[in-house]
């Protein structure tokens, strides 16, 4: 078993930003990257894979820029994505035809 590595400054900044997304709202990897003055949506996704405080730091509230559900726990399908969808549904965030049903739930920083 490997030891948990500490988070980088960037990973901590991403987690602090994500913690600001209110319950029943979502943001996108692109909006988070822009708010952090980072040019890479993928870097945000990679940082969220290392979120040590989930679900208290709600990485499930970050979706793809095209308003599809995106990935979760480093996966794009399977049990991880079902868990993300279920967590969002419990908060009232619904996807229809693969996209965010209510775009007013989008949180911009």
Q: How is 1-69 classified by DSSP, letter by letter?
A: -PPPPPPPHHHHHHHHHHTTSPTT-BEEHHHHHHHTT-S-HHHHHHHHHT-TTTTTS-GGGEE-TTSS-
Q: Which CATH number fits domain 9-105: 3.40.50.2020, 3.40.228.10, 2.70.98.40, 1.10.10.10?
A: 1.10.10.10
What dihedral angle (degrees, nearest 10) is formed by the CA atoms of 95, 100, 103, 107?
110
pLDDT for the residue 56: 87
Exactly one of 15, 38, 41, 59 is catalytic; name it: 59
**Active site (annotated) includes residue 59:** yes
CB atoms closer than 10 angstroms to residue 49: 13
Query: How many Cβ atoms are within 10 Å of 37's Cβ, its own excluded?
Result: 7
The predicted model scores a pTM of 0.91
Q: What number is the average pLDDT over the span 98-107? A: 96
For residue range 37-63, list pLDDT tens digits in order.
999 999 999 999 888 888 889 999 999
Return the domain boundaries, the chain: 9-105
- The gap between the terminal CA atoms of the chain, to the nearest Å, is 38
> Does the pLDDT value for residue 5 go beyond 60?
no
Backbone dihedral angles phi then psi of residue 106, each to the nearest 5 degrees: -75, 125
Percent of the chain with pLDDT over 90: 81
């Amino acid at each position: 078993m490997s030891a948990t590595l500490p988070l980088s400054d960037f990973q901590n900044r991403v987690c602090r930003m994500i913690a600001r997304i209110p319950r029943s709202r979502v943001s996108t990897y692109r909006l988070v990257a822009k708010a952090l003055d980072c040019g890479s949506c993928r870097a945000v996704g990679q940082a969220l894979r290392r979120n040590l405080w989930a679900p208290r730091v709600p990485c499930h509230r970050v979706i793809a820029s095209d308003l599809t559900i995106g990935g979760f726990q480093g996966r794009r399908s399977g049990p991880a994505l079902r868990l993300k969808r279920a967590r969002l549904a419990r908060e009232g965030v619904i996807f229809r035809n693969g996209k965010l049903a209510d775009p007013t739930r989008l949180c911009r920083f």
